[in-house]
């Protein structure tokens, strides 16, 4: 693309930045040294302190309201304000940080009080997560996993009618960079009829889109699909770590429990719907013969532009690779276009029975695999249930994760004529079990 299509910033590193140009401006929570966590905005190689900017009187009206709400140690209050103030803050920041900003000198005079190098920041969970729900809208994942259990009938009859999900655990959602300990649990060895207890031997990741809920609803008052997108504050990456052997033994009849509740990692930046707008797309048409969604799940505008074209990548960095100075190896490159249900359909379905959603609730999309093996978003799929190890450029093999392995997820949007934007990373290293 040509540079003339981009917004130019006086923060030089923002210009052409692969993740955080002026078109992105994701919010997060950061701290420096021993200071308290506070809200900030990623721009190039810096984090802009919203508190410092607000104190300097840089914002007016709704933008000032939003900056104030996003100044503290979590973004819940900012999420609760909804789309109007969020857009106002974004527009104000694009002007303030733009190359023709009239505030440029005043802002530069604030130095690192205003713009902190990202490399000097610790990034935190962006919000207090009240409730976490994990969906299952990646149809290729559902097919692939279903095939392992039911080769002739991989998708259960409800899949194309209901956005399948379950209520997960909020307390162990952690920010990228947090080490994750291999869980212990009950497993049933093949051919055995008595379970054993010990460290999971089939530890896996799941490549998912995370969805931060903004304005909520009252109990008993469903969110109509036409308004559902307005209730989304933004998006992140989510690694839904999964202990497959624990899951296989425990999941019937109520679904996953300890196999999923020990950790879910999220990327620290909240990418807004406004930043993603150039990469919005029509929901891919359903194959011939598939049912139409029920009316409460169908909105023509959502079908026309409620899906996203976001590249999702998962990489593996083993302890041996780190020791040999080898780079992380890409295991899969997928895309959010493989979602059978849109985000608005998830929100509408979640609330249609009267469930109350609150600012800072988090949804996972479910594993987003593509149709090809190099697009599979979990090792369960990439190794065909652990039967075909993947070869690594270190000479190692993997069926499932080993202690010391680091899982790295990235997301990026690219389109002809548009500057690319990225989500930043969601990474976590696996620690040995305590046993």
User: What is the distance between the alpha carbons of residues 331 and 387, in angstroms, rounded to a whole number?
Assistant: 16
- Nearer to Ca ion by Cβ, of 86 and 350: the residue is 350
Judged by CB under 5 A, which stretch of 49-57, 73-81, 238-246, 304-312 contacts Ca ion? 238-246
Determine the distance from the C-alpha atom of residue 336 to the mean position of all C-alpha atoms in its chain, rounded to a whole number.
11
Residues 335-374, mask of contacts with Ca ion (x by CB under 5 A): ----------------------------------------
What are the backbone angles phi and psi of residue 133, rounded to the nearest 5°? Answer: -125, 135
Ranges of H-type helices in 338-430: 343-352, 379-382
For position 250 contacting Ca ion by CB under 5 A, the verdict is no
Q: How far is CA 156 from CA 152, 204, 208, 260, in A?
A: 11, 23, 21, 21
User: Is 204 near Ca ion (CB under 5 A)?
Assistant: no
Listed in order, strand segments (DSSP E) in 176-299 are: 180-181, 184-187, 196-199, 203-204, 207-213, 232-239, 242-243, 264-266, 280-281
- State how far Cα 391 lies from the chain centre: 27
Identity of the residue, 23 or 240, whose beta carbon is nearer to Ca ion in the bound complex = 240
Nearer to Ca ion, 160 or 244 (CB): 244
Nearest to 228 by CA among 400, 103, 379, 347: 347
| Cβ-based nearer residue to Ca ion, 240 or 245 | 240
Q: Which stretch binds Ca ion (CB under 5 A): 51-59, 109-117, 206-214, 393-401?
A: 206-214
Q: Is 206 in the site for Ca ion (CB under 5 A)?
A: yes
Using CB under 5 A as the binding rule, whether residue 240 contacts Ca ion is answered as: yes
Q: Which residue number has the CB closest to Ca ion? A: 240
Stretch that binds Ca ion, among 45-53, 57-65, 103-111, 202-210 (CB under 5 A): 202-210
| Rounded Cα–Cα distance for residues 16 and 9 (Å) | 10
Q: How many Å separate Cα 202 from the centre of its chain?
A: 23
Shortest Cβ 367–Ca ion spacing (Å): 6
Do residues 44 and 14 make contact, with C-beta atoms less than 8 angstroms apart? Answer: yes
By beta-carbon proximity to Ca ion, the closer residue of 22 and 411 is 411
Min CB(266)–Ca ion separation in Å:
13
Label the pairing between strands 173-175 and 264-266: parallel
Query: Which x/- pattern over 160-189 shows residues binding Ca ion (rule: CB under 5 A)?
Result: ------------------------------
Q: Could you say whether residue 381 binds Ca ion (CB under 5 A)?
A: no
134 binds Ca ion (CB under 5 A): yes
Binding segment (CB under 5 A) for Ca ion, from list 60-68, 126-134, 331-339, 375-383: 126-134
Residues forming the active site: 141
Question: At 240, is the secondary structure helix, strand, or coil?
Answer: coil
CB of 48 to Ca ion, least distance (A): 33
- Report the candidate in 251, 313, 304, 264 with the shortest Cα–Cα distance to residue 19: 313
Q: Residue count at the site for Ca ion (CB under 5 A)? A: 3
Task: Considering the complex, state which of residue 279 and residue 341 has its C-beta at the smaller distance from Ca ion.
Answer: 341
What is the contact surface with Ca ion in residues (CB under 5 A)? Answer: 134, 206, 240
């Amino acid at each position: 693309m040509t540079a003339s299509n981009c917004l130019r910033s006086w923060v030089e590193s923002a210009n052409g930045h692969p993740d955080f140009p002026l078109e992105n401006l994701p919010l997060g929570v950061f701290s420096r040294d021993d200071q308290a966590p506070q809200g900030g905005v990623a721009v190039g190689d810096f984090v802009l302190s919203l508190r410092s900017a607000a104190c300097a009187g840089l914002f007016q009206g709704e933008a000032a309201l939003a900056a104030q709400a996003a100044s503290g140690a979590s973004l819940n209050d900012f999420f609760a304000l909804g789309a109007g103030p969020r857009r106002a803050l974004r527009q104000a920041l694009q002007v303030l940080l733009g190359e023709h900003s009239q505030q440029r000198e005043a802002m530069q005079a604030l130095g690192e009080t205003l713009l902190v190098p990202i490399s000097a920041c610790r990034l935190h969970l962006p919000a207090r997560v009240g409730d976490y729900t994990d969906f299952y809208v990646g149809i290729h994942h559902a097919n692939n996993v279903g095939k392992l259990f039911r080769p002739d009938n991989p998708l259960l009859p409800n899949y194309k009618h209901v956005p399948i999900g379950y209520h997960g655990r909020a307390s162990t959602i952690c920010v990228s960079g947090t080490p994750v300990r291999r869980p212990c649990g009950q497993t049933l060895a093949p051919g055995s009829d008595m379970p054993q207890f010990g460290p999971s031997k089939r530890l896996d990741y799941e490549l998912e889109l995370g969805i931060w809920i903004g304005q909520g609803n009252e109990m008993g008052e469903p969110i109509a699909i036409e308004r559902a997108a307005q209730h989304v504050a933004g998006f992140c990456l989510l690694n839904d770590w999964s202990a497959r052997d624990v899951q296989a033994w425990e999941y019937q009849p109520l679904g996953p429990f300890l196999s999923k509740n020990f950790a879910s990692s999220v990327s620290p930046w909240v990418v807004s719907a406004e930043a993603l707008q150039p990469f919005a797309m029509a929901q891919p048409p359903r194959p011939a013969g598939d049912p139409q969604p029920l009316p409460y799940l169908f909105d023509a505008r959502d079908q026309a532009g409620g899906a996203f074209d976001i590249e999702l990548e998962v990489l593996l960095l083993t302890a041996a690779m780190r020791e040999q100075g080898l780079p992380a190896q890409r295991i899969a490159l997928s895309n959010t276009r493989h979602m059978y249900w849109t985000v608005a359909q998830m929100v509408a379905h979640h609330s249609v029975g009267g469930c109350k959603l609150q600012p800072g609730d988090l949804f996972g999309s479910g594993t987003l695999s593509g149709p090809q093996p190099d697009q599979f978003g979990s090792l369960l799929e990439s190794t065909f249930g652990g039967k075909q190890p993947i070869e690594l450029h270190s000479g190692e093999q993997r069926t499932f994760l080993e202690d010391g392995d680091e899982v790295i997820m990235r997301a990026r949007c690219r389109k002809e004529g548009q500057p690319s934007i990225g989500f930043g990373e969601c990474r976590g290293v696996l620690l040995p079990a305590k046993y």
